[in-house]
């Protein structure tokens, strides 16, 4: 399908420094495509960024049938614009949609539309160090009905937001609380999908963690409350006695694109790495024995977020004296170097707009 375009008549002022709050500033245009059960996905268009008009009975408001993605566009030193593994995001969008009973998109086709949108908004990709253009594709159920059943109509949209560096003072280890009361997801639920309720259900635990001086939450499994799953909106890795360990995908953990990239890099570098179940007791025992060398979260926003301290049932695990570990730093430098065109992309991970 050919995408139609309507140019915005009033252009917004673009950020003039790297101090750009996350997700508060949006570009001049957005992408929209609709789905009807008798037509399939149709009418792809790029419009001026504007509010939506939805029926109060639209099913998204009542049953939360929605999925989303998050990726970024980066400006290189020679003024090119690169996307990082965008095909993986649309693969995952379809996996999430399958779990939420939302019709699949044509991944290659929608990636083409995304590239057209980013090309149109190329001047919005900031050039300041550590900045990027955040890209949010999402699908919402739009059928006006209170019936408890999958919607017969949907809207796919892509909006763009210039963002500043995730770490205002550089990449620094964070303190994390191990959550004992609340549950994020269970096997068979929607934990493996990128859907709205997975995030809002974590707000209380996040608020509690912040009140106690932590930056984020480490979730344990929802059945035994023993096995480590992920941190807030990030996957988690531990370096224990020379081996890197990360929780295996079990149906309740999001398959992060950065997580996948980290695993591929570690294996290429011949660093021992294992995906398996790891209990919080095993982690604490490794800490007590002096074997817990590094810990870090991975995700689109920060790429690598080193963990300097874990708090579990009143016990503190201080990791690497609150300093970023050598492996964490090397992984961060490698991926950000590829994203910004400063390192050779031997993996074929970047797509130029």
230 φ, ψ (degrees, to nearest 5):
-155, 170
Cα–Cα distance measured from residue 187 to residue 181, given in angstroms and rounded to the nearest whole number? 18
b vs e for 90-107, b when ≥16 Cβ sit within 10 Å of the residue's Cβ?
bebbbbbbebbebbebeb
pLDDT of residue 122: 97
> Is pLDDT of 169 > 70?
no
Neighbouring-strand partners of residue 29: 48
DSSP letter for each residue of 119-171: HHTGGGS--STT-EEEEEEEEEE--B--SSS--SEEEEEEEEEEE--S-TTSS
As a whole number, the mean pLDDT across the chain is 95
pLDDT of residue 168: 61
DSSP letter for each residue of 53-65: ---TTBHHHHH--
What's the half-sphere exposure (Cβ side, CA atoms, 13 Å) at 160? 31
Six-digit token string for 116:
């057209």
Each residue's pLDDT tens digit, 12-26:
999 988 889 889 999
Each residue's pLDDT tens digit, 118-131:
999 999 999 998 89
Enter the pTM of the model. Answer: 0.95
Confidence of residue 52 (pLDDT cuts 50, 70, 90): very high
The pLDDT of 166-190, averaged and rounded, is 86
The pLDDT of 316-321, averaged and rounded, is 96
For tokens 């591929």, the residue is: 264
Vertex 92 angle, CA 155 and 224, to 5°: 115
206 φ, ψ (degrees, to nearest 5):
-65, -45
Each residue's pLDDT tens digit, 189-229:
999 999 999 999 999 999 999 999 999 999 999 999 999 99
SS3 197: helix
> Is pLDDT of 325 > 80?
yes
pLDDT of residue 232: 85
**CB burial of residue 50 (10 Å; 0-12, 13-18, 19+):** exposed
Write down all domains in the chain, each with its CATH number in brackets. 4-163 (3.30.470.10), 174-339 (3.20.10.10)
Count of residues in the chain? 353
Give percent of the chain with pLDDT exceeding 70.
99
> Is pLDDT of 116 > 90?
yes
pLDDT of residue 170: 66
Identify whether the C-beta of residue 341 lies closer than 8 Å to the C-beta of residue 76. Answer: yes
Least confident of 104-108, 162-166, 341-345: 162-166
> Is pLDDT of 246 > 70?
yes
pLDDT of residue 171: 83
């Amino acid at each position: 399908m050919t995408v139609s375009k309507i140019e915005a008549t009033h252009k917004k002022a673009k950020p003039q420094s790297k101090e750009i709050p996350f997700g508060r500033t949006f570009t001049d245009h957005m992408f929209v495509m609709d789905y009807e059960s008798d037509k399939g996905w149709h009418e792809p268009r790029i419009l001026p960024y504007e509010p939506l008009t939805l029926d109060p009975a639209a099913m998204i408001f009542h049953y939360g049938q929605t999925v989303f993605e998050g990726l970024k566009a980066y400006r290189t030193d020679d003024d090119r614009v690169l996307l990082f593994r965008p095909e993986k995001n649309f693969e995952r969008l379809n996996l999430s949609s399958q779990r939420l009973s939302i019709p699949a998109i044509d991944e290659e086709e929608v990636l083409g539309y995304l590239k057209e949108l980013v090309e149109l908004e190329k001047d919005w990709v900031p050039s300041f160090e550590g900045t990027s253009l955040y890209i949010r594709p999402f699908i919402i159920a739009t059928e006006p009905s209170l019936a408890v059943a999958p919607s017969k109509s949907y809207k796919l949209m892509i909006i763009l937001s210039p963002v500043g560096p995730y770490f205002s003072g550089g990449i620094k280890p964070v303190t994390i609380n191990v959550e004992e009361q609340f549950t994020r997801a269970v096997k068979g639920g929607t934990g493996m999908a990128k859907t709205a309720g997975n995030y809002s259900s974590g707000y209380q635990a996040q608020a509690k963690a912040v009140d106690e001086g932590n930056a984020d939450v480490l979730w344990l499994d929802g059945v035994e409350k023993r096995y480590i799953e992920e941190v807030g909106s990030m996957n988690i890795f531990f370096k224990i006695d020379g081996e890197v360990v990360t929780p295996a995908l079990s149906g309740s953990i999001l398959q992060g694109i950065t997580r996948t990239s980290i695993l591929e890099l570690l294996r290429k570098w011949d660093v021992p790495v294992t995906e398996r179940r790891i209990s919080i007791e095993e982690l604490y025992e490794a800490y007590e024995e002096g074997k817990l060398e590094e810990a870090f979260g991975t995700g689109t926003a920060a790429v690598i977020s080193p963990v300097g301290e874990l708090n579990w049932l009143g016990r503190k695990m201080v990791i690497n004296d609150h300093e970023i570990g050598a492996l964490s730093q090397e992984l961060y430098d490698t991926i950000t170097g590829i994203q910004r065109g400063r390192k050779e992309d031997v993996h074929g991970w970047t797509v130029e707009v």
